[in-house]
Structure 1
Amino acid sequence: MSKIGFIGLGIMGGPMAANLVAAGHEVAGYNRSRAKVDQLVADGGTAASSVAEAVAGAEVVFTMLPDSPDVEAVVLGEDGVLAHAQRGALLVDCSTIRPDTARRVAEAAAQREVRALDAPVSGGEPKAIDGTLSIMVGGAADAFAAAEDVLGAVGATIVHVGPAGAGQTVKAANQLIVAGNIGLLAEALVFLEAHGVDTEAGLDVLGGGLAGSSVLNAKGAKMRDREFGPGFRLELHHKDMGIVQAAAREAGLTAPLGTLVAQLVAASVAQGDGALDHSALLKQITQLNGRS
């Protein structure tokens, strides 16, 4: 079993760290909010009071942070992960960040003889809790092989998709698809409601046909009931759509549907809904249609 440092114990990171503990690994966790660290201790992990303490002696270091600047600060900073990681350690960044940032982290890690993987995840809080996340991994093949055991404690679909940055590129595509699906599901709900159709029955039959999707299964009932407690916040999806747009521009591409849904997500955040679940995009679609 591995000695693991885990930095970032939020909605996703907390359950992932707990699953690593359950798999028999020794996990030291650090988070800016002490309550999250206490929860990991209750789950059988140990508390770290700093990044340095979490990383000390760790064979594997996981990071699960909100955005590219957070990863740069925590990993590349003067007192960050790379300043304290032992030679030969694995750095597994599960954050969703820009592909170019992931490549920069990998280059800096290599200079410190640390093997870095960008390994963003998909599946939301429920799959983080039950350890069945989808994990798209970028980095060297030997580093991926070395990380497969620990990744297997938190994910069910674990795929090496290419060199450094490739994991983040695939995650950007994932977020593009998810945002589009949520937007269309929201439109479908408003459409059904406007025609007086029983939306529970409607979504049930739609879910059994070609319109069925993981998004419909995970979000449909909560959207019907206007339950928008965050599993994945709109403000984070807004950040992710910015990553999609920047990466598309870098490749000389246009993503017309993605651009439209990105604008709708941005409007939702601007109107104060950023802390809600991304399924709260329904509120924006409802408002555009003049319905309550």
Structure 2
Amino acid sequence: MTKIGFIGLGIMGGPMAANLVKAGFDVTGYNRSSVKIARLVEAGGRGADSVADAVRDADVVVTMLPDSPDVEAVVLGEDGVLAHAKPGTLLIDCSTIRPDVSRQIASRARAVDAPVSGGEQGAIEGSLSIMVGGAAEDFAAARPVLEAVGSTVVHVGAAGAGQTVKAANQLIVAGTIELVAESLVFLEAHDVDTGAAIEVLSGGLAGNRILDRKAAAMVRREFTPGFRVELHHKDLGIVQAAAREAGVVLPLGAVVAQLMASLKAQGHGGLDHGALLKLVDQLSGRE
């Protein structure tokens, strides 16, 4: 039985680790919050008191952390994964971070960057889309683990390529949420039945996952986080930096990045990114 050390049991990592247990892996998890460790234990996994305890006997280590500095500290720190894992342990980083950090880790360890898309529901269902960067042989070794948590697992290139594709994903998602938000406020202003409108829009060329999964909650102004504004704000910063580095202009991306930054600056960083609707309400004088 493959032993997996799983670091980061939050909104996404918790259900991912539970799905690995269901798939028959021996999973030991660590999180700063003991409550989240307890949930993994209830699901049949094991709990660890530290990163070292989680990875010491692991064949594979999976990390699901908020940002680049977190991954650097947990993986490369003097008391981190590389300091305690066995030589040759495969590291699968499912966090969304800067591509250059993924390349730095790959230069020091056997690692793939495997950021995921699909939100909390996708993590629960095990239906995530996973874009993987790294050596072909490491992707092959990581694939059975990734297929236990995702339904679409694709090798997109060398180290850092997974993060680059994820940046493009976050650009598309943010832009789509903003346009859905604008459309919903527009429809409401004309007293249209938004439920019926969502149904028919979903069946046409405008159909998309945001309409399917988020529009109903957005209409109700329910913004319980599946993916927090503060994290999407961070991701759009990665997009903007990577675009500048490549000399690519992203005019609409720049606008939605500013809108996300405004939402965070107003104290809404803990809400779901569907809360972009709040800004459209505000700018329309309808809040």
Question: Same fold judged by TM-score > 0.5?
Answer: yes
One-letter identity of the residue aligned with 1:30 = Y
Residue ranges of structure 2 left out of the alignment (5+ in a row): none
1:59-78 equivalence runs, <5 A: 59-78=59-78
One-letter identity of the residue aligned with 1:108 = R
Offset from partner CA, 1:123-166 (integer Å, 9 cap, x none): 00011001110000000000000111111110000000000000
> Residue in 2 aligned with 1:112?
none
1:132-281 equivalence runs, <5 A: 132-281=127-276
CA distance in 2, matches of 1:221, 1:282: 12
CA distance in 2, matches of 1:218, 1:273: 21
> Residue in 1 aligned with 2:118?
123
1:98 and 2:98 aligned: yes
> Residue in 2 aligned with 1:47?
47
SS in structure 2 at match of 1:61: strand
One-letter identity of the residue aligned with 1:46 = R
TM-score, normalised via structure 2 length: 0.99
> Residue in 1 aligned with 2:26?
26
One-letter identity of the residue aligned with 2:242 = A
CA distance in 2, matches of 1:57, 1:141: 25
Offset from partner CA, 1:60-103 (integer Å, 9 cap, x none): 00000000000000000001001111112110000000001110
One-letter identity of the residue aligned with 1:158 = V
Offset from partner CA, 1:214-234 (integer Å, 9 cap, x none): 111011100011110000000
One-letter identity of the residue aligned with 2:182 = E
TM-score, normalised via structure 1 length: 0.98
Q: Which moved more, 1:228-237 or 1:82-91?
A: 82-91
Matched-pair identity in %:
71
Q: Which runs of structure 1 show a deviation greater than 4 angstroms over 4 or more consecutive aligned residues? A: none
1:80-95 equivalence runs, <5 A: 80-95=80-95
CA distance in 1, matches of 2:286, 2:125: 37
SS in structure 1 at match of 2:218: helix
Offset from partner CA, 1:232-254 (integer Å, 9 cap, x none): 00000000000000000000111
SS in structure 2 at match of 1:211: coil
Offset from partner CA, 1:143-197 (integer Å, 9 cap, x none): 0001111111100000000000000000000000000000000000010011111
Q: Which moved more, 1:137-146 or 1:79-88?
A: 79-88
Q: Which moved more, 1:14-23 or 1:83-92?
A: 83-92
One-letter identity of the residue aligned with 2:45 = G
CA distance in 1, matches of 2:85, 2:132: 21
SS in structure 2 at match of 1:160: strand
CA distance in 1, matches of 2:28, 2:60: 11
Residue ranges of structure 1 left out of the alignment (5+ in a row): 110-114
SS in structure 1 at match of 2:214: helix
